[in-house]
Amino acid sequence: MNGQNILTVYGKELRDSLRDRRTLISMIVIPMLMIPGIMAVAVGVSTKMINKARGEVPTVMVLGGDDSPVLRAALAADPKLHLVRTAANWRQQISDKQLRAAVEIPAGFDAALDRGTPAEVKIYNYDGELRSGFAVGELRNFLNDYREKTVTTRLVGRGLPAALVKPFEVKTQNVAPPEKVGGNMIGGLIPYLFILLCYTGAMYSAMDLTAGEKERGTMETILCSPVARTDLVLGKFLMVLTASLTAALISMISMGITFVVGGILMGAPRMTAAAKAGPLPMLDPAGLLLVLAMVLPVAVLFSAVLLAVSLFAKSIKEASSYVSPMIILIIIPAMMGLMPGVELNARLALVPILNIALVSKELVSGVFHWQYLALIFGSTCIYAAAALAFCVHLFNREEVLFRT
């Protein structure tokens, strides 16, 4: 192994890549724009949708209850509900989202209430639909209030205190530090994006440096130079790793800027309100840096695997058909790390990608399980070294280099 040769190859590949628009896009532009883009679209659209849904007075139909004018009048008097005329096709109207919900009052409801006989009111809704959900919420609030008022009236009528039905109050109070709240909320998302960007950042570079060279006919030119195959593959590998880590680093910087700028632009009044309610969710900065350190062996693993797979292909098109579906193999374990209830243990610490996703969630929450960190870092380094060794092995196989 000749360090000078490795650096010469790396230097040339770096210069070459920096002049390639497509590499620059995958290495710098996409990681820079992806996070602010996703945040802007996701936050913007969901906030708008929720606010619009919240602002709407839900359209509700009352079914039956002709003999219960008291309840019907109370429902009609609630400003948070917009009652419409009863129609036979109410189910269809809910499905068509013209009607948000329907409430069915059983026959003789008012009379049953006076007698103290239990009665059942039914709410019909469209499960999973946001506006229908809000309508159900409003109906429930109304009916709960109506029930409480009825109970209170009965107790008072019998000379009993109203507190009889509510002997104690229940209140929840968060005691988790703000960075733990943040870690749980977005801690899983950060490594997921890092892992994905590490992969996509390395992808184009790996294909260009191997299959691309075969396609353009420069592979044979470089192979007939005296540089050893190992030096050649290591020089190329360093370039792919640079692309991968640059993508991860830029995405991290972009994420930081997005949170700061996004907070100033969108959340200033809301943040003040939130500060009154309690501490804001935060991420542990030391943990965030440790996430980057953990991403390093993953980037090595991705770079080596992508280089090996792309080397096998004869053209960028063929390489692309191999490496693009491989994203699924990255996304699934990274997403499993986002699932609630999947916790880090010694066995999962050995599963590549999933282990990083899980430990990163802990790290940004400020939880440091050093024995797992060592196990994950060590095992990922071993996988990365094996992938790199395999890549060097492929570079020495003429049937791969001269595959026709």
> Where do contacts with other proteins occur on this chain (CB under 8 A)?
5, 8-9, 12, 15-16, 19-20, 216-218, 220-228, 398, 401-402
CB of 22 or CB of 369, closer to other proteins: 22
CB of 59 or CB of 205, closer to other proteins: 205
Min separation Cβ 12 and other proteins, Å: 5
CB of 23 or CB of 246, closer to other proteins: 23
CB of 103 or CB of 207, closer to other proteins: 207
CB of 3 or CB of 269, closer to other proteins: 3
CB of 148 or CB of 220, closer to other proteins: 220
Pairwise CA distance, residues 142 & 139, whole Å = 5
Q: Write out the DSSP string of 67-115.
A: T-HHHHHHHHH-TT-EEE---TTHHHHHHTTSSSEEEEEPTTHHHHHHH
Task: State the first-to-last Cα distance of the chain, in angstroms, to the nearest integer.
Answer: 29
Min separation Cβ 11 and other proteins, Å: 9
The three-class DSSP label of residue 124 is strand
Q: Do residues 119 and 157 lie in contact, with contact meaning Cβ atoms separated by under 8 Å?
A: no
Min separation Cβ 401 and other proteins, Å: 8
Q: 């890092």: which residue's tokens? A: 194
Q: Which secondary-structure segment (H or E) carries 243?
A: helix 229-277
- Name the β-bridge partners of 82: 59
Sheet holding 122-125, edge to edge: 82-84, 59-64, 101-105, 122-125
Min separation Cβ 204 and other proteins, Å: 14
Pairwise CA distance, residues 285 & 291, whole Å = 10
Min separation Cβ 239 and other proteins, Å: 13
Pairwise CA distance, residues 344 & 361, whole Å = 10
Pairwise CA distance, residues 299 & 244, whole Å = 6
Q: Write out the DSSP string of 125-144.
A: E-TT-HHHHHHHHHHHHHHH
CB of 173 or CB of 404, closer to other proteins: 404
CB of 20 or CB of 104, closer to other proteins: 20
Min separation Cβ 326 and other proteins, Å: 25
- Name the β-bridge partners of 122: 104
DSSP letter for 25, please.
I
Min separation Cβ 226 and other proteins, Å: 4
Hey, what's the torsion of the CAs at 40, 197, 209, 238, to 10 degrees? 130
CB of 9 or CB of 308, closer to other proteins: 9
Cβ contacts of 63 within 8 Å, gap of 6 or more:
86, 90, 102, 103, 104, 105, 124
Min separation Cβ 227 and other proteins, Å: 5
Min separation Cβ 20 and other proteins, Å: 6
Structure token digits, residue 6: 């490795």
CB of 248 or CB of 401, closer to other proteins: 401
Min separation Cβ 222 and other proteins, Å: 8
Helix count and strand count (H, E) for the chain: 18, 4
